[in-house]
Amino acid sequence: MDFAESRGVQMLRELCREFAEKEILPHIEELKHGSEFPYHVTKRYGDLGLIGLTVAKKYGGNMMGHVAAMAATEELAYHYPTLGTHLRGYRLVPQVLEHGTEEQRQRWMPKLMSGEWMGSLATTEPQGGSAPGTCMTTCRREGDYYILNGRKVMITRGGDSQLVLISAREGDKIHCLGITKDLNGRSTGRRESMAGVSAFSPVDEIIFEDTKVPAENLIGKEGKGLGPLLDGIGAVGRAGGAGTCLGIARWAYETARKYAKERLIGGKDRLLDVNSIRYMLADMDLRVEKAKLLCFRFAWQLDQGKTAREVGREGAMAKLFASETAVYNCYKAIEIHGGYGTTEEFKIIGRLHSALDMIGAAGADNIMRNTIAQAQDRD
């Protein structure tokens, strides 16, 4: 077993680091408080080739792989959590479109790959939580269209995305449909103002009122809508969430260590030399390593061609543990920073907020436990 990171992945981390440090961080306040969605950021992800990391070359991607994507997500989230969320989101829709028709891919992929368009996945509903199977948005076929009625909530960038993939129920069949921005009858409802991991990545409610969706926007077969969506959610979605948490966890550890190294007590002793601090840091370091192993093992399995369903257990473990580690490390980082831990300038509260956001995202932690338990049942 070779655990060494390849040169290509090292360079990819460097690419992400430069992008974050030179293009995003200097403008972070404008981005956070801007009134419009910064589409130019999406375009940059496209220019750099990040969106195509897990998309086949024939569809316009570069297929550097899931391990590479995990490293990129971690590295981006390390510098600013929402950057990890963005990468996850942009990669998600193309993965679902692999179940679509050639015509749909020709129509939508080039724009998604270049970053000219953003994609979102919308399955969450007010009553149904995120489990796509409990979908209550209805649709009925009328000639060349599907007519939609219902609401989707907590959809990341739902209002600003040019293409949203949704689940909709027709009787006891669930379809997967592609909703473009221009469709009549679709509107954006309530916008959750979330900082943290949703900085310049607003979370919206989408309302369908007799929305007419062209029939050629059906992805996969009628009644077989769940498969494509779960595939995206369980692979790119899950890995992206795990990677984002991993980035936050590593940031918290490294920041705490740096602080302890430089902080002098009484002008001469380093905080780092205090035993209780050393043990805390050792613990945080260990947790990051554990999370790393779970995350990259999952990514590696996806690279071996495993489907989301086949490695559901491993994906759940990665996300769950990375999520818990992110929260734990941020909490410990606050402790190590003493009184400064909760001040705005040290930024840990913001990271902790992001880590807490991630508990319910990309596979809510408790649902992940359920997934692991279900896998145990199969014995």
Partner 1 sequence: MKRIMSYKIAVCVKQVPDPEFFSKVKLDPKSGTIIRTGIPSIVNPLDRHALEMALDFKDKYGAVVTVISMGPPQAVEALQVALAMGADEAYLLSDRVFAGADSLLTAEILAKGIKELGGFDLVFCGNIAVDGSTGQVPAQVAEYLGCPHITHVSEIELKDGKLEIKATRDFGYTVYEAQFPLTIGVNKYSQAPRNMTVSGIMRAVEYKMNILTSEKVKIAAKNALEGSPTRVLGMEEVKGGRKGLILTDEPKEAVKKAVERLVKLGAV
Partner 2 sequence: MGIGAVCVFAEHAEGAVKKYSLEKINKAKELAAELGAQTAVLVCGSELEGIAETLAKTGVNKVYAFDHPELKLYQPQAYADLIADWARKEKPEIMWFSSSNIAVELASRVAAKLETGLTAHCIGLELAEVEGKKIVSHSLPGWGGNFVVKIVCPEKRPQMATVSAGISSPAEISDKATAAVVWAPVEIQPEQLKIKAVKNVYDDKKSDGLETAERIVAGGWGMRSSGSLEMIESLAKLLKAEIGGTRPLVDCNWIEETRMIGVSGKTVSPKLFISVGASGQPHYTTGFAKSGVILSITDDPKAPIFDMCDIGIVGDARRVLPELIAGLETVL
Query: Would you tell me which residues interact with partner 1 (CB under 8 A)?
Result: 6-8, 11-12, 14-15, 18-19, 22, 47-50, 52-53, 62, 64, 68, 264, 267
- Work out how close the CB of 30 gets to partner 1 at its nearest, in angstroms, rounded to a whole number: 19
Q: Which of 10, 11, 14, 26 binds partner 2 (CB under 8 A)?
A: 26
The interface with partner 2 within residues 342-361 (CB under 8 A) comprises 345
Binding mask 229-268 vs partner 2 (x if CB under 8 A, - otherwise)?
Answer: ---------------------------------x-x----
> In this chain, which of 11, 25, 215, 265 binds partner 2, going by CB under 8 A?
25
Closest separation in Å from C-beta 243 to partner 2: 24
Give Dmax over CA atoms of the chain in angstroms. Answer: 79
Q: How far apart are CA 55 and CA 275, in angstroms?
A: 48
- Selected range binding partner 2 among 20-28, 43-51, 152-160, 241-249, rule: CB under 8 A: 20-28
Which residue, 210 or 262, has its beta carbon nearer to partner 2?
Answer: 262
CA distance to 158, 174, 289, 352, per residue, from 334 (Å): 33, 46, 20, 9
Query: Is 28 one of the binding residues for partner 2 (CB under 8 A)?
Result: yes
Q: 144-176: buried (b, 16+ CB within 10 Å) or exposed (e) per residue?
A: ebbbbbbbbbbbbbbbbbbbbbbbbbbeeebbb
Distance of closest approach, residue 26 Cβ to partner 2, in angstroms: 6
Closest CB to partner 1 among residues 22, 33 = 22
| Binding of residue 18 to partner 2 (CB under 8 A) | no
Are 244 and 73 spatial neighbours (Cβ–Cβ below 8 Å)?
Answer: yes
Smallest distance from partner 1 to CB 257, Å: 16
**84 or 178: CB nearest partner 1:** 84
- Of 69, 20, 43, 58, whose CA–CA distance to 243 is shortest? 69
In the complex with partner 2, the residue whose CB is nearer, 21 or 192, is: 21
Which of residues 270 and 369 has its CB atom nearest to partner 1 in the complex? 270
- Token pair 């949704």 is found at 166
Q: CA 196 to CA 193: how far, in whole Å?
A: 10
- Minimum separation from the CB atom of position 7 to partner 1 (A): 5
Q: Would you count residue 289 as binding partner 2 (CB under 8 A)?
A: no
Q: Which C-beta is closer to partner 1: that of 61 or that of 315?
A: 61
Q: How far is the CB of 354 from partner 2 (least distance, A)?
A: 18
19 binds, among partner 2, partner 1, none (CB under 5 to 8 A by kind): partner 1
- Nearest Cα neighbor of 348 from 294, 287, 286, 284 is 284
Residue (8 or 214) nearer to partner 1, CB: 8
25 contact choice in partner 2, partner 1, none (CB below 5 to 8 Å, kind-dependent): partner 2
Q: Which of 222, 142, 125 is nearest to 177 (CA)?
A: 222
Q: Shortest distance, CB of residue 338 to partner 2, whole angstroms? A: 14
Alpha-carbon distance of 365 to 361, in angstroms, equals 8
Q: Which residues are at the interface with partner 2 (CB under 8 A)? A: 21-22, 25-26, 28, 262, 264, 345
